[in-house]
Amino acid sequence: MPHNDTNPKQTTPSLGPIFRALPGLYVIITPELVIQDATDAYLRTTLASRENVTGRYFFEVFPNNPATPDLDSAHNFEHSLRHVLEHRQEHVMEILRYDIPRPASQGGGFEERYWSPSNKPVLDEEGNLLCILHEARDITEQVLNQQEQLHNQERLYMLTDALHAVSWEYDIASNKMSWGKGLLEIFGYTPEEMGSGGESWDRRVHPDDFERVQQGIKNATKNGNKVWSGEYRFLKADGTYAHVLDQGYIIYDTNGNPARTIGSIVDLSHSKRFEKDLRESDARFWHMLEVLPHMAWIADAKGRLTYFNNNWYNYTGMKPGQTDGWINVVHPEDSAELLTNWLEATQSGDLFELEYRIRNHITGEYRWFLDRGVPMYDEQGKVKIWIGSYTDIDEQKVALAQIQLKDQQLENILKLSPAHLCLLMGPDHVCRYVTPGVYRMYGNRQYLGRTAREIWPELQRLNFFDLLEQVYRQQDSVSIDEFCLPFDRHNNGKMENAYFNLRYQPIIDQNHNTEGILISAVEVTELVLYKAKAKT
Protein backbone atom coordinates (compact mmCIF):
# COMPACT_ATOMS: atom_id res chain seq x y z
CA MET A 1 0.00 0.00 0.00
CA PRO A 2 2.53 2.61 -1.28
CA HIS A 3 3.05 6.26 -2.04
CA ASN A 4 2.28 7.40 -5.60
CA ASP A 5 4.29 9.72 -7.79
CA THR A 6 1.96 12.54 -7.03
CA ASN A 7 1.75 13.99 -3.55
CA PRO A 8 -1.37 12.30 -2.08
CA LYS A 9 -2.45 15.55 -0.53
CA GLN A 10 -2.98 16.86 -4.04
CA THR A 11 -5.75 14.33 -4.67
CA THR A 12 -9.21 14.70 -3.22
CA PRO A 13 -9.77 11.49 -1.21
CA SER A 14 -13.19 10.03 -0.75
CA LEU A 15 -13.57 9.19 2.89
CA GLY A 16 -16.20 6.70 1.82
CA PRO A 17 -18.15 5.37 4.77
CA ILE A 18 -16.45 7.73 7.19
CA PHE A 19 -17.44 10.82 5.22
CA ARG A 20 -20.91 9.48 4.50
CA ALA A 21 -21.55 8.78 8.17
CA LEU A 22 -20.91 12.40 9.19
CA PRO A 23 -24.00 13.86 10.89
CA GLY A 24 -23.90 17.11 8.92
CA LEU A 25 -25.39 17.85 5.50
CA TYR A 26 -22.30 17.82 3.22
CA VAL A 27 -21.79 17.41 -0.52
CA ILE A 28 -18.51 17.22 -2.44
CA ILE A 29 -18.88 19.03 -5.78
CA THR A 30 -16.25 18.94 -8.54
CA PRO A 31 -15.11 22.11 -10.37
CA GLU A 32 -17.46 21.00 -13.18
CA LEU A 33 -20.33 21.18 -10.63
CA VAL A 34 -20.79 17.41 -10.63
CA ILE A 35 -21.77 15.68 -7.38
CA GLN A 36 -18.86 13.49 -6.31
CA ASP A 37 -20.18 12.33 -2.94
CA ALA A 38 -22.68 13.23 -0.20
CA THR A 39 -23.31 12.30 3.40
CA ASP A 40 -26.15 9.97 4.26
CA ALA A 41 -27.72 12.79 6.30
CA TYR A 42 -27.80 15.02 3.21
CA LEU A 43 -29.42 12.32 1.09
CA ARG A 44 -32.08 11.66 3.72
CA THR A 45 -32.86 15.35 4.08
CA THR A 46 -33.11 15.94 0.32
CA LEU A 47 -35.14 12.75 -0.30
CA ALA A 48 -32.41 11.59 -2.72
CA SER A 49 -30.58 8.30 -3.23
CA ARG A 50 -26.86 7.89 -3.75
CA GLU A 51 -27.16 6.13 -7.09
CA ASN A 52 -29.33 8.94 -8.47
CA VAL A 53 -26.99 11.81 -7.50
CA THR A 54 -23.39 10.58 -7.66
CA GLY A 55 -21.64 11.56 -10.88
CA ARG A 56 -24.46 13.84 -12.06
CA TYR A 57 -24.56 17.58 -12.68
CA PHE A 58 -25.83 19.24 -9.51
CA PHE A 59 -28.57 21.27 -11.18
CA GLU A 60 -29.78 18.24 -13.11
CA VAL A 61 -30.41 16.52 -9.79
CA PHE A 62 -31.81 19.63 -8.09
CA PRO A 63 -33.51 21.85 -10.72
CA ASN A 64 -35.65 24.91 -10.06
CA ASN A 65 -39.19 24.36 -8.86
CA PRO A 66 -41.27 25.29 -11.95
CA ALA A 67 -44.02 26.54 -9.65
CA THR A 68 -41.73 29.33 -8.34
CA PRO A 69 -39.85 30.62 -11.41
CA ASP A 70 -39.25 34.07 -9.88
CA LEU A 71 -37.06 32.60 -7.13
CA ASP A 72 -34.49 31.11 -9.54
CA SER A 73 -32.89 29.25 -6.64
CA ALA A 74 -30.54 27.30 -8.90
CA HIS A 75 -29.09 30.51 -10.37
CA ASN A 76 -28.45 31.97 -6.91
CA PHE A 77 -26.76 28.78 -5.74
CA GLU A 78 -24.68 28.48 -8.91
CA HIS A 79 -23.56 32.09 -8.45
CA SER A 80 -22.13 31.12 -5.04
CA LEU A 81 -20.32 28.11 -6.52
CA ARG A 82 -18.87 30.26 -9.33
CA HIS A 83 -17.68 32.75 -6.71
CA VAL A 84 -15.77 29.96 -4.94
CA LEU A 85 -14.28 28.72 -8.22
CA GLU A 86 -13.12 32.21 -9.17
CA HIS A 87 -11.88 33.55 -5.83
CA ARG A 88 -10.82 30.32 -4.06
CA GLN A 89 -12.57 31.61 -0.93
CA GLU A 90 -15.41 30.29 1.19
CA HIS A 91 -18.78 31.84 0.35
CA VAL A 92 -21.53 31.89 2.98
CA MET A 93 -24.96 32.46 1.45
CA GLU A 94 -27.95 34.16 2.98
CA ILE A 95 -31.05 32.12 3.75
CA LEU A 96 -32.01 30.43 0.49
CA ARG A 97 -35.31 28.91 -0.52
CA TYR A 98 -34.45 25.91 -2.69
CA ASP A 99 -37.29 23.43 -3.12
CA ILE A 100 -36.33 19.77 -3.55
CA PRO A 101 -37.88 17.28 -5.98
CA ARG A 102 -40.07 14.71 -4.26
CA PRO A 103 -39.71 11.08 -5.48
CA ALA A 104 -42.63 9.64 -7.41
CA SER A 105 -43.14 7.13 -4.61
CA GLN A 106 -43.91 10.08 -2.33
CA GLY A 107 -46.28 11.82 -4.70
CA GLY A 108 -43.84 13.66 -6.98
CA GLY A 109 -43.66 17.42 -7.36
CA PHE A 110 -41.50 19.62 -5.14
CA GLU A 111 -41.23 20.14 -1.40
CA GLU A 112 -40.72 23.65 -0.01
CA ARG A 113 -37.37 23.93 1.77
CA TYR A 114 -35.23 26.72 3.25
CA TRP A 115 -31.49 26.42 3.77
CA SER A 116 -28.55 28.16 5.39
CA PRO A 117 -25.80 27.15 2.91
CA SER A 118 -22.06 27.69 2.57
CA ASN A 119 -19.52 26.62 -0.05
CA LYS A 120 -15.86 26.11 0.81
CA PRO A 121 -12.98 25.44 -1.60
CA VAL A 122 -10.70 22.45 -0.98
CA LEU A 123 -7.21 23.35 -2.24
CA ASP A 124 -4.01 21.40 -2.67
CA GLU A 125 -0.64 22.64 -1.40
CA GLU A 126 -0.13 24.69 -4.55
CA GLY A 127 -3.46 26.43 -4.23
CA ASN A 128 -5.21 24.49 -6.99
CA LEU A 129 -8.88 23.85 -6.40
CA LEU A 130 -9.68 20.15 -6.01
CA CYS A 131 -13.36 20.38 -5.19
CA ILE A 132 -16.01 22.39 -3.36
CA LEU A 133 -17.34 21.26 0.01
CA HIS A 134 -20.98 22.33 0.24
CA GLU A 135 -22.55 22.45 3.70
CA ALA A 136 -26.25 23.08 4.24
CA ARG A 137 -28.47 23.50 7.28
CA ASP A 138 -32.15 22.71 6.80
CA ILE A 139 -33.95 25.62 8.52
CA THR A 140 -37.32 25.04 6.86
CA GLU A 141 -39.20 24.55 10.11
CA GLN A 142 -37.62 27.66 11.61
CA VAL A 143 -38.47 29.84 8.60
CA LEU A 144 -42.05 28.57 8.36
CA ASN A 145 -42.52 29.22 12.07
CA GLN A 146 -41.18 32.74 11.63
CA GLN A 147 -43.56 33.32 8.74
CA GLU A 148 -46.47 32.13 10.85
CA GLN A 149 -45.39 34.38 13.70
CA LEU A 150 -45.08 37.27 11.27
CA HIS A 151 -48.61 36.64 10.03
CA ASN A 152 -49.91 36.67 13.60
CA GLN A 153 -47.94 39.81 14.31
CA GLU A 154 -49.54 41.52 11.34
CA ARG A 155 -52.97 40.78 12.76
CA LEU A 156 -51.93 41.95 16.22
CA TYR A 157 -51.02 45.33 14.79
CA MET A 158 -54.49 45.52 13.32
CA LEU A 159 -56.13 44.60 16.60
CA THR A 160 -54.24 47.29 18.48
CA ASP A 161 -55.43 50.05 16.14
CA ALA A 162 -58.05 52.45 17.41
CA LEU A 163 -61.65 51.62 16.59
CA HIS A 164 -62.14 54.84 14.66
CA ALA A 165 -59.70 53.88 11.90
CA VAL A 166 -59.54 52.58 8.34
CA SER A 167 -57.53 49.43 7.77
CA TRP A 168 -55.71 48.96 4.49
CA GLU A 169 -53.44 46.49 2.73
CA TYR A 170 -51.20 47.19 -0.26
CA ASP A 171 -49.64 44.51 -2.50
CA ILE A 172 -46.62 46.27 -4.01
CA ALA A 173 -45.96 43.78 -6.83
CA SER A 174 -49.52 43.87 -8.19
CA ASN A 175 -50.20 47.51 -7.20
CA LYS A 176 -53.38 46.42 -5.48
CA MET A 177 -54.79 48.44 -2.59
CA SER A 178 -57.51 46.97 -0.35
CA TRP A 179 -59.54 49.06 2.09
CA GLY A 180 -61.36 48.07 5.28
CA LYS A 181 -65.00 48.61 6.27
CA GLY A 182 -64.40 51.96 7.99
CA LEU A 183 -63.64 53.70 4.71
CA LEU A 184 -67.20 54.91 4.06
CA GLU A 185 -67.92 55.91 7.67
CA ILE A 186 -64.73 57.88 8.26
CA PHE A 187 -63.78 59.29 4.86
CA GLY A 188 -67.06 58.97 2.94
CA TYR A 189 -65.79 56.69 0.14
CA THR A 190 -66.87 53.27 -1.04
CA PRO A 191 -64.04 50.91 -2.07
CA GLU A 192 -65.11 51.35 -5.70
CA GLU A 193 -64.88 55.14 -5.41
CA MET A 194 -61.42 54.91 -3.84
CA GLY A 195 -60.04 52.60 -6.54
CA SER A 196 -57.85 49.52 -6.20
CA GLY A 197 -54.42 50.89 -7.18
CA GLY A 198 -51.79 52.64 -5.10
CA GLU A 199 -52.63 55.88 -6.89
CA SER A 200 -55.97 55.90 -5.05
CA TRP A 201 -54.04 56.87 -1.94
CA ASP A 202 -51.46 59.06 -3.70
CA ARG A 203 -53.94 61.52 -5.17
CA ARG A 204 -55.76 62.05 -1.86
CA VAL A 205 -52.72 62.98 0.23
CA HIS A 206 -52.43 66.77 0.55
CA PRO A 207 -49.92 68.07 -2.06
CA ASP A 208 -47.94 69.88 0.64
CA ASP A 209 -47.52 66.63 2.59
CA PHE A 210 -47.02 64.12 -0.22
CA GLU A 211 -43.24 64.42 -0.79
CA ARG A 212 -42.50 64.30 2.95
CA VAL A 213 -44.65 61.22 3.44
CA GLN A 214 -43.17 59.44 0.41
CA GLN A 215 -39.64 60.17 1.61
CA GLY A 216 -40.48 58.72 5.01
CA ILE A 217 -41.70 55.50 3.39
CA LYS A 218 -38.59 55.28 1.18
CA ASN A 219 -36.30 55.76 4.19
CA ALA A 220 -38.10 53.02 6.09
CA THR A 221 -37.80 50.45 3.29
CA LYS A 222 -34.22 51.45 2.51
CA ASN A 223 -33.21 50.78 6.12
CA GLY A 224 -35.20 47.55 6.26
CA ASN A 225 -37.54 48.87 8.94
CA LYS A 226 -40.66 46.86 9.60
CA VAL A 227 -42.83 49.74 10.78
CA TRP A 228 -43.52 53.11 9.20
CA SER A 229 -45.75 55.84 10.56
CA GLY A 230 -46.52 59.42 9.64
CA GLU A 231 -49.04 62.23 9.96
CA TYR A 232 -50.55 64.05 6.99
CA ARG A 233 -53.77 65.47 5.59
CA PHE A 234 -56.11 63.16 3.69
CA LEU A 235 -58.85 64.29 1.28
CA LYS A 236 -62.35 63.19 2.31
CA ALA A 237 -65.29 62.63 -0.04
CA ASP A 238 -66.88 65.95 1.05
CA GLY A 239 -63.84 67.91 -0.16
CA THR A 240 -62.33 68.63 3.27
CA TYR A 241 -59.04 67.33 4.59
CA ALA A 242 -58.79 65.17 7.69
CA HIS A 243 -55.62 65.23 9.80
CA VAL A 244 -54.65 61.54 10.03
CA LEU A 245 -52.08 59.26 11.61
CA ASP A 246 -51.05 56.47 9.25
CA GLN A 247 -49.05 53.46 10.47
CA GLY A 248 -47.99 50.60 8.22
CA TYR A 249 -46.25 47.29 8.85
CA ILE A 250 -43.81 46.46 6.02
CA ILE A 251 -43.42 42.84 4.91
CA TYR A 252 -40.31 41.84 2.94
CA ASP A 253 -39.78 38.91 0.56
CA THR A 254 -36.94 36.39 0.86
CA ASN A 255 -34.62 38.73 -1.06
CA GLY A 256 -35.20 41.58 1.36
CA ASN A 257 -37.39 43.61 -0.99
CA PRO A 258 -40.65 45.14 0.30
CA ALA A 259 -43.54 42.95 -0.90
CA ARG A 260 -46.61 44.39 0.80
CA THR A 261 -47.70 46.60 3.66
CA ILE A 262 -50.56 46.36 6.15
CA GLY A 263 -51.72 49.25 8.28
CA SER A 264 -54.44 51.62 9.37
CA ILE A 265 -55.28 55.30 9.06
CA VAL A 266 -56.62 57.02 12.17
CA ASP A 267 -58.62 60.24 11.86
CA LEU A 268 -57.07 62.66 14.39
CA SER A 269 -59.77 65.25 13.78
CA HIS A 270 -61.93 63.79 16.52
CA SER A 271 -59.41 64.38 19.30
CA LYS A 272 -61.53 63.33 22.26
CA ARG A 273 -62.65 60.14 20.63
CA PHE A 274 -59.11 59.48 19.49
CA GLU A 275 -57.76 59.88 23.03
CA LYS A 276 -60.34 57.39 24.31
CA ASP A 277 -59.46 54.92 21.58
CA LEU A 278 -55.77 55.29 22.35
CA ARG A 279 -56.39 54.44 26.00
CA GLU A 280 -58.32 51.34 24.98
CA SER A 281 -55.65 50.44 22.46
CA ASP A 282 -52.98 50.89 25.12
CA ALA A 283 -54.84 48.55 27.48
CA ARG A 284 -55.11 45.92 24.75
CA PHE A 285 -51.43 46.34 23.97
CA TRP A 286 -50.32 45.66 27.55
CA HIS A 287 -52.70 42.74 27.81
CA MET A 288 -51.26 41.32 24.61
CA LEU A 289 -47.70 41.43 26.04
CA GLU A 290 -48.81 39.60 29.16
CA VAL A 291 -50.55 36.75 27.34
CA LEU A 292 -47.67 36.13 24.94
CA PRO A 293 -46.17 32.61 25.42
CA HIS A 294 -42.63 34.08 25.40
CA MET A 295 -40.71 36.43 27.64
CA ALA A 296 -41.02 40.01 26.38
CA TRP A 297 -39.59 43.42 27.21
CA ILE A 298 -39.86 47.15 26.46
CA ALA A 299 -37.08 49.74 26.55
CA ASP A 300 -37.05 53.49 26.07
CA ALA A 301 -35.36 55.20 23.12
CA LYS A 302 -32.01 55.27 24.94
CA GLY A 303 -32.10 51.53 25.61
CA ARG A 304 -33.09 51.55 29.29
CA LEU A 305 -35.31 48.55 30.10
CA THR A 306 -38.64 49.76 31.49
CA TYR A 307 -40.81 46.64 31.40
CA PHE A 308 -40.74 42.82 31.44
CA ASN A 309 -43.81 40.61 31.17
CA ASN A 310 -44.66 38.02 33.84
CA ASN A 311 -42.98 35.20 31.91
CA TRP A 312 -39.64 36.94 32.49
CA TYR A 313 -40.13 37.18 36.23
CA ASN A 314 -41.37 33.57 36.46
CA TYR A 315 -38.26 32.32 34.66
CA THR A 316 -35.55 34.55 36.17
CA GLY A 317 -36.95 34.89 39.68
CA MET A 318 -36.51 38.67 39.64
CA LYS A 319 -38.93 40.62 41.80
CA PRO A 320 -42.10 41.50 39.79
CA GLY A 321 -41.83 45.03 38.47
CA GLN A 322 -38.05 45.15 38.88
CA THR A 323 -36.15 46.20 35.75
CA ASP A 324 -32.77 47.23 37.15
CA GLY A 325 -30.17 44.49 37.49
CA TRP A 326 -31.49 42.35 34.65
CA ILE A 327 -27.94 41.83 33.36
CA ASN A 328 -27.22 39.75 36.49
CA VAL A 329 -29.31 36.84 35.18
CA VAL A 330 -27.33 36.76 31.91
CA HIS A 331 -24.40 34.33 31.68
CA PRO A 332 -21.18 36.16 32.67
CA GLU A 333 -19.48 35.06 29.43
CA ASP A 334 -22.27 36.64 27.35
CA SER A 335 -22.92 39.89 29.20
CA ALA A 336 -20.15 41.99 27.61
CA GLU A 337 -21.17 41.08 24.06
CA LEU A 338 -24.83 41.66 24.91
CA LEU A 339 -24.26 45.15 26.32
CA THR A 340 -22.02 46.10 23.38
CA ASN A 341 -24.51 44.94 20.74
CA TRP A 342 -27.44 46.54 22.56
CA LEU A 343 -25.62 49.88 22.74
CA GLU A 344 -24.83 49.74 19.01
CA ALA A 345 -28.47 48.96 18.17
CA THR A 346 -29.84 51.84 20.23
CA GLN A 347 -27.38 54.23 18.62
CA SER A 348 -28.07 53.09 15.04
CA GLY A 349 -31.78 52.31 15.36
CA ASP A 350 -31.25 48.96 13.61
CA LEU A 351 -33.00 45.71 14.46
CA PHE A 352 -31.45 44.08 17.54
CA GLU A 353 -30.85 40.31 17.47
CA LEU A 354 -28.50 38.23 19.62
CA GLU A 355 -28.23 34.73 21.08
CA TYR A 356 -27.17 34.45 24.72
CA ARG A 357 -27.80 32.47 27.91
CA ILE A 358 -30.21 33.38 30.73
CA ARG A 359 -30.36 31.66 34.13
CA ASN A 360 -33.46 29.76 35.26
CA HIS A 361 -33.88 30.57 38.96
CA ILE A 362 -35.57 27.22 39.71
CA THR A 363 -32.98 24.86 38.19
CA GLY A 364 -30.00 27.21 38.23
CA GLU A 365 -29.16 26.26 34.63
CA TYR A 366 -28.45 28.71 31.84
CA ARG A 367 -30.53 28.22 28.69
CA TRP A 368 -29.91 29.75 25.27
CA PHE A 369 -32.38 32.34 24.00
CA LEU A 370 -32.68 34.37 20.81
CA ASP A 371 -33.40 37.97 21.85
CA ARG A 372 -34.97 40.11 19.10
CA GLY A 373 -35.93 43.74 19.52
CA VAL A 374 -37.49 46.21 17.06
CA PRO A 375 -37.66 50.00 17.34
CA MET A 376 -41.04 51.78 17.24
CA TYR A 377 -40.97 55.25 15.66
CA ASP A 378 -42.89 58.45 16.27
CA GLU A 379 -44.33 60.65 13.55
CA GLN A 380 -40.96 62.39 13.10
CA GLY A 381 -39.27 59.08 12.38
CA LYS A 382 -37.41 58.98 15.70
CA VAL A 383 -37.24 55.89 17.89
CA LYS A 384 -39.91 56.12 20.57
CA ILE A 385 -39.57 52.75 22.30
CA TRP A 386 -38.10 49.30 21.72
CA ILE A 387 -40.16 46.11 21.94
CA GLY A 388 -38.56 42.69 22.12
CA SER A 389 -39.13 39.04 22.92
CA TYR A 390 -37.10 35.93 23.74
CA THR A 391 -37.26 32.61 21.90
CA ASP A 392 -35.88 29.52 23.66
CA ILE A 393 -33.29 27.96 21.31
CA ASP A 394 -31.43 25.86 23.88
CA GLU A 395 -32.22 22.49 22.31
CA GLN A 396 -31.13 23.78 18.91
CA LYS A 397 -27.82 25.07 20.33
CA VAL A 398 -27.14 21.82 22.21
CA ALA A 399 -27.83 19.77 19.08
CA LEU A 400 -25.46 21.97 17.06
CA ALA A 401 -22.74 21.63 19.70
CA GLN A 402 -23.08 17.84 19.63
CA ILE A 403 -22.70 17.81 15.86
CA GLN A 404 -19.57 19.97 16.08
CA LEU A 405 -18.15 17.69 18.79
CA LYS A 406 -18.72 14.59 16.67
CA ASP A 407 -17.00 16.26 13.70
CA GLN A 408 -14.00 17.11 15.87
CA GLN A 409 -13.89 13.60 17.32
CA LEU A 410 -13.86 12.10 13.82
CA GLU A 411 -11.00 14.36 12.78
CA ASN A 412 -8.97 13.41 15.86
CA ILE A 413 -9.59 9.70 15.28
CA LEU A 414 -8.23 9.90 11.73
CA LYS A 415 -5.16 11.85 12.87
CA LEU A 416 -4.29 9.69 15.87
CA SER A 417 -5.24 6.20 14.66
CA PRO A 418 -2.25 3.80 14.87
CA ALA A 419 -3.65 1.76 11.99
CA HIS A 420 -2.57 2.22 8.39
CA LEU A 421 -5.73 2.29 6.26
CA CYS A 422 -6.52 1.60 2.61
CA LEU A 423 -10.06 1.83 1.21
CA LEU A 424 -10.92 -0.20 -1.91
CA MET A 425 -14.29 0.54 -3.51
CA GLY A 426 -16.50 -1.44 -5.90
CA PRO A 427 -16.15 -4.94 -7.37
CA ASP A 428 -12.90 -3.88 -9.12
CA HIS A 429 -11.42 -2.83 -5.75
CA VAL A 430 -10.43 0.69 -6.83
CA CYS A 431 -8.33 2.53 -4.24
CA ARG A 432 -10.11 5.66 -2.99
CA TYR A 433 -8.30 6.51 0.24
CA VAL A 434 -5.02 5.76 2.02
CA THR A 435 -3.54 7.13 5.24
CA PRO A 436 0.01 8.57 5.23
CA GLY A 437 1.56 5.53 6.96
CA VAL A 438 0.62 3.27 4.03
CA TYR A 439 3.15 4.82 1.65
CA ARG A 440 6.15 3.19 3.37
CA MET A 441 4.90 -0.41 3.04
CA TYR A 442 5.38 -1.33 -0.65
CA GLY A 443 7.67 1.30 -2.12
CA ASN A 444 6.86 4.16 -4.45
CA ARG A 445 3.59 3.24 -6.21
CA GLN A 446 0.50 5.03 -7.40
CA TYR A 447 -2.61 4.25 -5.38
CA LEU A 448 -5.58 6.52 -5.78
CA GLY A 449 -7.85 5.68 -8.69
CA ARG A 450 -6.11 2.37 -9.43
CA THR A 451 -7.39 -1.17 -8.92
CA ALA A 452 -5.79 -3.56 -6.45
CA ARG A 453 -4.43 -5.66 -9.34
CA GLU A 454 -2.72 -2.59 -10.81
CA ILE A 455 -1.22 -1.64 -7.45
CA TRP A 456 0.01 -5.06 -6.26
CA PRO A 457 0.45 -7.38 -9.30
CA GLU A 458 3.05 -9.46 -7.43
CA LEU A 459 0.44 -10.50 -4.84
CA GLN A 460 -1.32 -12.71 -7.39
CA ARG A 461 0.83 -15.68 -6.31
CA LEU A 462 -0.29 -15.21 -2.70
CA ASN A 463 -3.99 -15.47 -3.69
CA PHE A 464 -4.46 -11.90 -2.45
CA PHE A 465 -7.15 -11.11 -5.00
CA ASP A 466 -9.06 -14.28 -4.17
CA LEU A 467 -9.06 -13.04 -0.58
CA LEU A 468 -10.51 -9.68 -1.66
CA GLU A 469 -13.22 -11.43 -3.67
CA GLN A 470 -14.12 -13.57 -0.65
CA VAL A 471 -14.49 -10.55 1.62
CA TYR A 472 -16.44 -8.58 -1.00
CA ARG A 473 -18.81 -11.37 -2.09
CA GLN A 474 -19.39 -13.14 1.22
CA GLN A 475 -19.32 -9.98 3.36
CA ASP A 476 -17.06 -11.75 5.87
CA SER A 477 -14.20 -10.05 7.70
CA VAL A 478 -10.80 -11.72 7.45
CA SER A 479 -7.88 -11.23 9.86
CA ILE A 480 -4.24 -12.20 9.29
CA ASP A 481 -2.01 -11.81 12.34
CA GLU A 482 1.74 -11.21 12.51
CA PHE A 483 2.22 -10.99 8.74
CA CYS A 484 5.74 -10.01 7.68
CA LEU A 485 6.05 -7.10 5.23
CA PRO A 486 8.92 -4.88 4.03
CA PHE A 487 8.63 -1.49 5.68
CA ASP A 488 10.42 1.84 5.15
CA ARG A 489 10.40 2.71 8.85
CA HIS A 490 12.49 5.86 8.64
CA ASN A 491 11.16 7.00 5.26
CA ASN A 492 14.67 6.93 3.78
CA GLY A 493 14.17 4.24 1.12
CA LYS A 494 15.73 1.48 3.23
CA MET A 495 13.31 -1.41 3.72
CA GLU A 496 13.30 -3.67 6.78
CA ASN A 497 11.01 -6.47 7.83
CA ALA A 498 8.10 -5.57 10.07
CA TYR A 499 5.11 -7.50 11.35
CA PHE A 500 1.49 -6.40 11.05
CA ASN A 501 -1.95 -7.61 12.05
CA LEU A 502 -4.03 -7.22 8.88
CA ARG A 503 -7.81 -6.96 8.80
CA TYR A 504 -10.06 -6.94 5.72
CA GLN A 505 -13.46 -5.46 6.61
CA PRO A 506 -16.39 -5.26 4.12
CA ILE A 507 -18.19 -1.89 3.87
CA ILE A 508 -21.93 -2.58 3.67
CA ASP A 509 -24.58 0.01 2.81
CA GLN A 510 -28.07 0.35 4.29
CA ASN A 511 -29.46 -2.07 1.68
CA HIS A 512 -26.95 -4.76 2.73
CA ASN A 513 -24.94 -4.39 -0.49
CA THR A 514 -21.14 -4.39 -0.36
CA GLU A 515 -19.65 -1.00 -1.28
CA GLY A 516 -16.00 -1.79 -0.71
CA ILE A 517 -13.32 -3.14 1.60
CA LEU A 518 -11.41 -1.31 4.34
CA ILE A 519 -7.93 -2.78 4.88
CA SER A 520 -6.19 -1.94 8.15
CA ALA A 521 -2.64 -2.77 9.17
CA VAL A 522 -1.49 -2.42 12.80
CA GLU A 523 2.21 -2.95 13.44
CA VAL A 524 3.05 -5.61 16.07
CA THR A 525 6.79 -6.00 15.40
CA GLU A 526 7.85 -5.47 19.02
CA LEU A 527 5.32 -8.04 20.21
CA VAL A 528 6.53 -10.65 17.69
CA LEU A 529 10.18 -10.10 18.60
CA TYR A 530 9.37 -10.31 22.29
CA LYS A 531 7.51 -13.58 21.83
CA ALA A 532 10.38 -15.02 19.78
CA LYS A 533 12.88 -13.99 22.44
CA ALA A 534 10.75 -15.56 25.16
CA LYS A 535 10.85 -18.93 23.39
CA THR A 536 14.65 -19.01 23.32
The model's pTM: 0.32
pLDDT tens across 228-237, in order?
A: 888 899 999 9
Does 82 map to a domain? yes
Query: Are residues 1 and 134 located together in one domain of the fold?
Result: yes
Q: How confident is the model at residue 245, as a pLDDT?
A: 84
% pLDDT > 70, the chain: 85
Residue 462 counted as domain residue: yes
Pair (405, 525) in one structural domain: no
- In 223-252, which positions are buried (b, 16+ CB within 10 angstroms) versus exposed (e)? eebbbbbbbbbbbbeeeeebebbbbbbbbe
The domain total for the chain is 4
Q: Are residues 164 and 127 in the same domain?
A: no
- Per the structure, the complete domain to which residue 25 belongs is given by 1-138
User: Which CATH number characterizes residue 332's domain?
Assistant: 3.30.450.20
Pairing mode, if any, of strands 165-171 and 383-392?
unpaired
Sequence-distant (≥ 6) Cβ neighbours of residue 313 within 8 angstroms: 319, 320, 322
| Dihedral, CA of residue 78, residue 96, residue 218 and residue 285, to nearest 10 | 180
Q: Which one, of 158, 185, 349, lies nearest residue 248 by Cα? A: 158
pLDDT-derived band of residue 515, with 50, 70 and 90 as boundaries? very high
**Residues 362, 247: one domain?**
no
- What DSSP character marks residue 428? T
Q: Are residues 12 and 134 in the same domain?
A: yes
pLDDT at 257 over 70: yes
Domain co-membership, 362 together with 390: yes
The domain boundary, picked from 400, 415, 430, lies at 415
What integer best gives the mean pLDDT of the chain?
A: 83
Q: How far apart are CA 507 and CA 372, in angstroms?
A: 48
**Which is higher by pLDDT, 379 or 496?**
496
Please give the average per-residue pLDDT across 87-111, as a whole number: 92
What confidence score (pLDDT) does residue 277 get?
Answer: 52
For 486-504, what is each residue's pLDDT tens digit? 887 877 778 888 898 999 9
392 and 468 inside one domain: no
For residue range 382-429, list pLDDT tens digits in order: 888 898 888 888 887 776 666 666 656 554 555 456 678 888 999 999
Q: What does the pLDDT read at residue 9?
A: 41
pLDDT score of 292: 64
Give the whole-angstrom CA distance, residue 95 versus residue 426: 38
When pLDDT is averaged across residues 233-253 and rounded to a whole number, the result is: 87
175/227 same-domain check: yes
2-21 residue pLDDT tens: 434 444 444 444 456 888 88
For the segment 469-479, what is each residue's pLDDT rounded down to a tens digit?
999 999 999 99
**Higher-scoring residue by pLDDT: 421, 133:** 133
- Rounded to an integer, what distance in angstroms lies between the CA atom of residue 297 and that of residue 308? 4
Residue 76, pLDDT > 60, answer yes
Beta strands in 195-304 (DSSP E): 227-235, 241-252, 258-267, 296-300
Percent of the chain whose pLDDT exceeds 90 = 39
For 100, other C-beta atoms within 10 Å of its C-beta total: 19
* pLDDT, position 313: 93
Q: What is the pLDDT of residue 162?
A: 42
pLDDT of residue 13: 46
Highest mean pLDDT among 22-26, 222-226, 317-321: 317-321
In a domain, 280, yes or no: no
Assess whether 305 and 392 both reside in one domain.
yes
Residues 104, 155 within the same domain: no
